[in-house]
Homo-oligomer: A and B are copies of this chain.
Amino acid sequence: MPQLLSEHACFGGVQRFYQHDAQAIGLPMKFSVYLPPGHEGKQLPVLLYLAGLTCTEETFMTKAGAQRVAAELGIILVAPDTSPRGAGVPGETDSWDFGAGAGFYVDATREPWSRHYRMYSYILELRQLVMREFGADPARCGIFGHSMGGHGALMLALRNPELFRSVSAFAPIAAPTRCPWGEKAFGGYLGEDRDAWKAYDATGLVASGPVRFPQEAACRAAGQPLELRRHAGYDHGYYFISTFVEDHLRFHGRQLG
């Protein structure tokens, strides 16, 4: 049973923060849930949001302004933390892009990270918990995220199409095996054997081959529907996300029915 930490009325629904004993992590984890108005006794669609480096379960709920549209569409929003906290791995808080706040949604296989840094399994565990605790509809679950969390969303959806009916991402790390952030994280969590990285690379999961915009070409080659948008002048932060979050929610709303 997750423990309720706080709740706040918001757009006619309720914004809640929980802590629970996460089996996949072996430590307590926090997450946030937005329940839209009239959620009681209904099987509503649910949308998981995976945040980026340095974020917590609170970031999206305070900065994105998503609850307004979720309330209108009747969608439950769920945001996990971005890594285990207090795992006690030496140096885990030394880097902003590796360790605490930077779990990269993989199950680490390298010591000493492999004991607790198992965010891939944790997201699937949290999905199950949300179905059980909040009566969400397992057939209508989507996932999205930003940056590191965009990587997580794309990768989790591609590997589990039966669990996630819709996916979108803001400025995702779409090809983590081909950029310094991903190389640092995957090397650290998974070791130097790059074959082991493939299961966590969204672009690789769709297709292979080095191209300028790998996600676009890979999707075209594989027949994977993709709507790729570029917005001139916007940066990588939540002023960008808040501007376009409504578009993402309405996309998921259509997909989740």
A240 / chain B contacts, CB cutoff of 8 Å: 8-10
Residues of B within 8 A of A242 (CB): 10-11, 65, 67-68
List the number of copies, as a whole number: 2
Produce 1/0 per residue, A223-241, CB < 8 A to B: 0000000010111011110
Q: Is A63 on the interface with B (CB-CB < 8 A)?
A: yes
What per-residue 1/0 map shows which CB atoms of A140-180 lie under 8 Å from chain B?
Answer: 00000000000000000000000000000000000000000
CB distance from A187 to the nearest CB of B (A): 32
Measured CA separation A157–B249 after assembly (Å): 39
A interface: dominant SS: mixed
Contact B65 A239 (CB under 8 A): no
Q: State whether the Cβ of A62 lies closer than 8 Å to any Cβ in chain B.
A: yes
Task: Tell me the smallest distance from the CB of A145 to a CB of chain B, in Å.
Answer: 19
Is B9 a contact partner of A243 (Cβ separation < 8 A)?
Answer: yes
**A234 proximity list for chain B (CB < 8 A):** 8-9
Contacting residues, chain B, for A243 (C-beta < 8 A)? 9-12, 67-68
- Are B235 and A8 interface neighbours, CB within 8 A? yes
Query: A215 within 8 Å of B by Cβ?
Result: no
Q: Which residue of B lies closest to A62 (CB)?
A: B63
Shortest Cβ gap from A68 to chain B (Å): 7
Asked if A56 CB lies within 8 Å of chain B CBs, one says no
In the complex formed, the residue of B with least CB distance to A8 is: B239
A26-73 with Cβ < 8 A to chain B: 62-63, 65, 67-68
- Separation in Å of the A239 CB from the closest CB of chain B? 4
Tell whether, in the assembled complex, residue B62 and residue A238 are in contact, meaning their CB atoms are under 8 Å apart: yes
In the assembled complex, the CB of A240 is this many whole angstroms from the nearest CB of chain B, namely 7
* Nearest CB in chain B to that of A12: its residue: B243
> Considering the chains assembled together, what is the distance between the CA atoms of A246 and B65 in angstroms?
12
14 additional A-B pairs beyond A9-B231, A9-B240, A68-B242, beta carbons within 8 Å, are A8-B237, A9-B233, A9-B234, A9-B243, A10-B240, A11-B243, A12-B243, A15-B239, A62-B62, A62-B63, A65-B65, A67-B239, A67-B242, A67-B243
Q: Give me 9 A-to-B residue pairs in the complex whose CB atoms sit less than 8 angstroms apart, sorted by A's number.
A: A8-B239, A9-B231, A9-B240, A9-B243, A10-B240, A11-B242, A12-B243, A68-B242, A68-B246
